[in-house]
Amino acid sequence: MVRTHLLLGSNKGDRQLYLDTAQMRIAELGTIAAKSSVYETAAWGYTDQPSFLNQVLALDTMLDPFALMRKLQAIETELGRVRVEKWGVRTLDIDILLFGRIVIEHDDLMIPHPALPVRRFSLVPLAEIAPELIHPTERVSIAELLERCEDALEVIKVSGNA
């Protein structure tokens, strides 16, 4: 089993329903060991769109990173994700933030997620459930990455991690 950390995001339709449904489907891929609260943030990148709900899950899985990515993309598609433009409006986005201590630099998959250290909307929920986790390439804790993060995007907790 490998512990992987996933970021779920939705900014189209019933955002909470998409997160909840995705969580149920992700549970079929292993064991959800922890989940963060749900946070609301303005869109990052292409900002002229609705705000996002985001949540981080810690998943213990037997899948390899590429198989996990394919399964997660299938879940996105099943829940109405249509890839039209980078950073566009979407029913569901699932990013692999970390996969154990593995580092992958491939055209189709980058682990750790290359933007993790600069995105507050990813770091806040990740730090909630794994503050002492050491980032495999930055070699500092997630809590320290969050402390260093210069992203000024407001991240607002909207519900607990029940």
User: Using one digit for the tens of pLDDT, what is the confidence trace for 113-124?
Assistant: 999 999 999 999
Q: Give me the residue spans of the domains in the chain.
A: 2-159
* 119 given a catalytic annotation: no
Q: End-to-end CA distance of the chain: give it in Å, rounded.
A: 24
Which among 90, 119, 120, 151 is annotated as catalytic? 90
State yes or no: pLDDT of 87 exceeds 60. no
Average pLDDT, stretch 97-105? 96
Digit-coded pLDDT (tens) for 25-74: 999 999 999 999 999 998 776 666 788 999 999 999 999 999 999 999 99
State yes or no: pLDDT of 106 exceeds 90. yes
Which among 15, 25, 95, 151 is annotated as catalytic? 95
CA distance 119 to 158: 18
State yes or no: pLDDT of 162 exceeds 60. no
- Concatenated DSSP letters for 72-134? HHHHHHHTT----STT---S-EEEEEEETT--EE-SS-EES-TTGGG-HHHHHHHHHH-TTPB
The predicted structure's pLDDT at residue 13: 87
Of 111, 106, 107, 5, nearest to 61 by C-alpha is: 5
Query: Average pLDDT over the chain, rounded to whole?
Result: 91
* 95 given a catalytic annotation: yes
CATH of domain 2-159: 3.30.70.560
Which among 15, 25, 93, 119 is annotated as catalytic? 93
The predicted structure's pLDDT at residue 49: 74
Which among 3, 81, 119, 120 is annotated as catalytic? 81
* 81 given a catalytic annotation: yes
* 148 given a catalytic annotation: no
The predicted structure's pLDDT at residue 61: 98
